[in-house]
Amino acid sequence: MTINPKLPDFNETVSLNESGAFAEGGNRLCFVHPQDARLCIKVSKPGAVKKARDAKPLYKRARSLSAFDDNMGEFKAYHQSAIRHPRVSQERLWAHLPRCYGWQNTSLGLGLVSDFYQNENGEAAASLEHLLINTDLLASYKKKLLEFSDYLRETGVLTKNILPHNLVLANDGRLKLIDGLGRLGFIPTVEWSEKARRNYIERRIKKMFLRVEWEFNGRERPWNEVEKKGRL
């Protein structure tokens, strides 16, 4: 993470209204920071954390409520070794990843603050999912996905399964991962050796390209079927 002294006062409670969210996920709402349009605030939906816990099998519910909080999970993901002890320059490390700045008090609860990516009109940058639906130029986005893949290999940054709606095309022409940082699985085996890390990243990359092809081709078959077979 990085701290900029010109950032807003995160201890001050900023006022947010649910209807003002520019994006909505399964458990969170995303807002442009009312004091700094360069920043995004992610806030958990009311009751979402408890609902996420209750949806898990009984043996998993013994964990603390914070373990089911997407904001807390993302915050912890920014503390993975590849980010805390980068093997590349700071410029390269953040080439495809928004910086996380910490916690902001809001009228809707504690929010997690990170970079906000805009298009030339000042609106939220388009997701890859949106771009794939609205254009037939898949080849041009494959090039950008290859660049993103090289970034993951070079930095060793761990992600969950990479979905097209969690990648946005920023003004610098790069794809940015705005959600899904971290690793799958409770036990950190992938961080125990460089070989395990590389294999894990390659699996995420392979599945990312498969998911993109599936979405671009109209989702003709159920994703779980395609995912299981590893091909369209």
Per-residue pLDDT of the chain (232 residues; tens, 9 = 90+): 444 547 888 889 999 999 999 999 999 999 999 999 999 999 999 999 999 999 888 888 888 888 899 999 999 999 999 999 999 999 999 999 999 999 999 999 999 999 999 988 889 999 999 998 877 777 788 999 999 999 999 999 999 999 999 999 999 999 999 999 999 987 788 989 999 999 999 999 999 999 999 998 889 999 999 999 999 8
Q: Which residue has the tokens 């519910």?
A: 61
Distance, CA of 90 to CA of 211 (rounded, Å): 30
In angstroms, rounded to a whole number, what is the distance separating the alpha carbons of residues 125 and 23?
11
Structure tokens at 53: 């816990």
Structure-block tokens of residue 139: 């080849």
Q: Does domain 18-230 have CATH number 1.10.510?
A: yes
- pLDDT at site 4: 54
End-to-end CA distance of the chain: 38
Please state the pTM of the whole predicted model: 0.92
Beta-sheet strands, E only, within the chain: 23-24, 28-32, 39-44, 100-106, 109-115, 167-169, 175-177
C-alpha angle 213-218-219 in degrees, rounded to nearest 5:
75
Q: Please classify residue 97 by burial: count the beta carbons closer than 10 Å to its beta carbon, then call 0-12 exposed, 13-18 middle and 19+ buried.
A: buried
